[in-house]
Amino acid sequence: MMNFELTREFVENLRSLIERKDEAAVSEIIEALHPADIAEIYEELEIEEAKFLYFLMDDDTGADVITELEEDDRKRFLASLPSDVIAKRFIHKMNSDDAADVLGELDEERQKEVLSHIDDVSTAGDIVDLLNYDEDSAGGLMAKELIKVKESWSIPTCLRSMRRQAEEIDEVYYVYVVDNDDILKGTLSLKRMLLSSADARVKDIYNEDVISVNVNTSSEEVSNIMDKYDLVVLPVVDNIGRLVGRITIDDVVDVMREEAEKDYQYASGITEDVESSDSVWLLTRARIPWLMIGLFGGILGSRVIGGFESYLDNYPQMAFFMPLIAAMGGNVGIQSSAIVVQSLASGDMGIDTAWGKLLKELAVALLNATVMALLIFGYNRLIDSNMALTFTVSVAMFSVVIFASLFGTFVPMLLKRVNVDPAVATGPFITTLNDIIGMFIYLTLGSYFYNTLM
């Protein structure tokens, strides 16, 4: 039961120990920590300090720490080490999926160098195989390490083989059953093995209902499948059904978290994966693009408004409700897009067709638009605005809500169809566009009503 909390005092103390090269004290501190905690500490250290720490760890801990680091910290750290150290101290000690992920972050030249230092051909071969798969596919997520038994074996043969296989594998959750051609047939649960008699054979007790995915299945679908069926491990097969690997839930949790964070960042206008502990420069860089698009959109909006200058000269009250209408267009658009984006991401789109969805969105939009238009109409009557302004604001409100709803629903569906991440629709470009179109609708209606009624 370790409960480690990273504090400024802890880091300062550690840094001063490192400065004094107090190996004994530093060793004692890191031996009590989990690799994930050490990785957190790494992110606060300079490269040379991190290296000092690193050479005090045993190889297994060192490999785990590297796996746990954030990608940019890992890149920075590995860049400072020679290829043979990376090969012998890390890659060799990692699970094949982690090894492939880490190697995949290096440039090709460096990858070859590191691989040339791995003596065990089968390990190197596994990693090279994994590197060939698309990062966002089941192949890119899976590890090669798994325990498999043949359906024809007896339980004692099975146990002997499992013992041998288990030596290379960290955790045993499932045992897979294959036929003589390595085709996946089912799973053997440890519970069934605990409960079965010694003279049973694998084929009598294994479970045939196994859910698997193809190596080319997208990582999004993998995560939806594991979530829906509450799976901890998911076997991966090739195009003819041979068992080639397995995906564990912790890797998929990372995928899910990244997906959710990315969608959240789009919706809140941030373009890179940043945390409040990142540098000022990184934080600024992540925010400037949205602000630039917002600025550009605002300037475009000012041109649109400028085109109606003569009306504003005569009827300056029209300016009162401009921010309201612009904001409403943007907000309604984000709401509509966000609902579609979430449903697309969870794969839970129900059984409506695309037209059915637009029709339903139209119904929702009509309801919302009517309520909003009536309220703003009532308010304008209450404060005794002139009829032209009252009609302009109310009809513009109605039109903008309808337009932005349909546009916000349509765009992510279109983006999905052309294989662009639909979450882009909640991002700055579409939102700003909605603002401007809202402004245009408002002012056009305004010029019409003022011409007609005044």
Q: Which of residues 43-102 bind its own copies (CB under 8 A)?
A: 44
CB of 295 to its own copies, least distance (A): 6
Whole-number Å distance between alpha carbons of 319 and 326:
11
| Structure tokens belonging to residue 262 | 């990315």
Handedness of CA 59, 60, 63, 66 (dihedral sign): negative
Site map (CB under 8 A) of its own copies, residues 386-425, x = contact: ---------------x------------------------
Sequential DSSP letters for 47-102 = HHHHHHHHTTS-HHHHHHHHHHS-HHHHHHHHHTS-HHHIIIIIGGGS-HHHHHHH
Q: Which of 218, 216, 250 is nearest to 231 (CA)?
A: 250
The smaller minimum CB distance to its own copies, of residues 133 and 290, is found at 290
Q: Which residues contact 435 (CB under 8 A, 6 or more apart)?
A: 297, 301, 326, 327, 329, 330
- Figure out which of the listed residues 45, 78, 99, 162 binds its own copies, where binding follows CB under 8 A: 162
Compute the least distance from the CB of residue 157 to its own copies, in Å: 14
Distance CA 145, CA 174 (A): 11
Q: What's the rounded Cα separation, in Å, for the pair 222 and 199?
A: 37
Window 268 to 287, contacts with its own copies (CB under 8 A) = 268-270, 274-277, 280, 283-284, 287
Stretch that binds its own copies, among 4-12, 99-107, 199-207, 414-422 (CB under 8 A): 4-12
Nearer to its own copies among residue 107 and residue 250 (C-beta):
250
Binding mask 297-336 for its own copies (x = CB under 8 A): xxx-xx--xx--x--xx--xxxxxxxxxxxxx-xxx-xx-
The rounded distance, in Å, linking the Cα atoms of 161 and 158 is 5
Residue 128: partners with Cβ closer than 8 Å, 6 or more residues away:
115
Rule CB under 8 A: is residue 177 a binding residue for its own copies? no
Nearer to its own copies by C-beta: 111 or 161?
161
Query: Among 394, 339, 405, which residue's Cα sits nearest to residue 366?
Result: 405
Q: What are the structure tokens assigned to 254, written together?
A: 């990372």
Comparing CB distances to its own copies, the nearer of 78 and 158 is 158
Q: Does 354 bind its own copies (CB under 8 A)?
A: no
Cβ closest to its own copies, residue 47 vs residue 349: 349
Q: Residue 29, interface with its own copies (CB under 8 A)?
A: no
Residue 246 pairs in a beta bridge with: 143, 235
Interaction residues for its own copies, span 120-149 (CB under 8 A) = none
Interface segment toward its own copies; rule CB under 8 A; list 20-28, 50-58, 102-110, 230-238: 230-238
Contacts of 437 (CB under 8 A, 6+ apart): 329, 400, 403, 404, 407
Closer by beta carbon to its own copies, 109 or else 316: 316
The secondary structure of residue 411, as a DSSP letter, is H
Among positions 25, 79, 367, 414, the unique one binding its own copies when judged by CB under 8 A? 367
**Interacting residue with its own copies among 157, 342, 386, 444 (CB under 8 A):** 342
Q: Are 66 and 74 in contact (CB under 8 A)?
A: yes
Query: Using the rule CB under 8 A, is 374 a contact of its own copies?
Result: no
Q: Which of residues 434-453 bind its own copies (CB under 8 A)?
A: 435, 439
The DSSP result for 234-298, as a single string, is EEEE-TT-BEEEEEEHHHHHHHHHHHHHHHHHHHHT--S---TTS-HHHHHHHHHHHHHHHHHHH
Q: Which is nearer to its own copies, 25 or 32 (CB)?
A: 32
What's the closest the beta carbon of residue 266 comes to its own copies, in angstroms? 9
Residue 6: CB minimum distance to its own copies, A:
6
List the x/- string, 195-224, binding to its own copies by CB under 8 A.
x-------------xxxx------------
